[in-house]
Amino acid sequence: MTPRGEQVCYADAYARSIQARVVEVVQGESTLVILDRTTFYPGGGGQPSDQGLLLRATDGRTWTVRGARKLDGEIAHELEPSPDGPPDVADVLQVDLEWARRLALMRTHTALHALCGVVWRDYGALVTGGNMEPGSGRMDFEFERMSGDLVDTIEASVNVELAAQRDVRVAVLPRDEAFAIPDLIRTKVNLLPEGIEEIRTIEIVGLDLQADGGTHVANTREVGRIKVTGYESKGRINKRIRIRLEDPD
């Protein structure tokens, strides 16, 4: 089923502000608003959803969006409670992402791909999971021989790749074509639902190619440098690496 709302974040991660019309307001434990288009990312794949504002120009009212999520295929915006109630269906609203947060997530997410790419290329270790906040994240690998020395080497290698100014490309491929790419589905457990017909891929050109639904920067130079802030054993084979973005000088 084609969603009623255009989901801009998947095609243009840099779109932060857009005008939209309210399609539906769902009142429950919280108020959810569905728009005919949005720049919000609904969360998923370890990347938290966006936050931001909806603004109604006709009377200047604003609503704080504390998060977004998928609801029957639509991106639903969860509003902070407002004493004057939610916007109405057919209202025209300005949609504004909290951009500093989103950009930090895009940089962090791209850094995690670079980490993934280096660990796969240099050690053949599969990813088993990951999670992020703006500016920091972690990835879990099947990586039996990981050690402190190796982690220092990995940090240096990731920073070399980020500094190489590699382009980051988004593509949408038919399922068969995507599955024909060796190593594309690099997660240990393939979480892609049966019946999905198109696969979105993110490529750090020359380093990493993954099936992925998140938002990323367009070139690794925008990430800057990373620091490995810790590593842990989650068992004999499963290891966790934590990173954060280094603040630019």
What number of H helices and E strands is found in the chain? 3, 15
Rounded to a whole number of angstroms, the minimum distance from the CB of residue 38 to Zn ion is 19
Q: How far is the CB of 216 from Zn ion (least distance, A)?
A: 6
Q: How far is the CB of 220 from Zn ion (least distance, A)?
A: 13
Amino acid in position 147: S
CB of 127 to Zn ion, least distance (A): 11
* Of residues 16 and 113, the one with the C-beta less far from Zn ion: 113
Instruction: Give the tokens for residue 49.
Output: 């959803």
Kindly identify the residues of this chain, within the stretch 4-43, that bind Zn ion according to CB under 5 A. none
Quick one: 32 or 111, whose CB is closer to Zn ion? Answer: 111
Q: Mark the segment that binds Zn ion (CB under 5 A) among 139-147, 160-168, 180-188, 206-214.
A: 206-214
Given the complex with Zn ion, which of 67 and 214 has the nearer CB atom? 214
User: Which among 145, 141, 26, 116 is positioned nearest to 75, based on CA atoms?
Assistant: 26
Query: Is 51 strand, coil or helix?
Result: coil
Q: Using CB under 5 A, which of the segments 128-136, 138-146, 165-173, 204-212 binds Zn ion? A: 204-212
Name the minimum Å distance from CB 241 to Zn ion. 16
**Cβ(27)–Cβ(86) under 8 Å?**
yes
Q: Where are the beta strands (DSSP E) in the chain?
A: 6-7, 17-27, 31-35, 37-38, 52-56, 61-71, 74-79, 92-97, 126-133, 136-142, 168-174, 198-204, 208-211, 226-233, 238-245
Nearer to Zn ion, 22 or 102 (CB): 102
Cβ closest to Zn ion, residue 155 vs residue 212: 212
Q: Which of residues 93-132 bind Zn ion (CB under 5 A)?
A: 109
Size of the site for Zn ion (CB under 5 A): 3
Q: How far apart are CA 200 and CA 192, in angstroms?
A: 11
Q: Is 214 in the site for Zn ion (CB under 5 A)?
A: yes
Give the nearest distance from C-beta 43 to Zn ion in angstroms. Answer: 13
Q: Residue type for 110, please? A: T
**CA quadruple 63, 65, 69, 73: dihedral sign:** positive
Residue among 212, 239, 240, 245 that touches Zn ion (CB under 5 A): 212
Chain positions contacting Zn ion, by CB under 5 A: 109, 212, 214
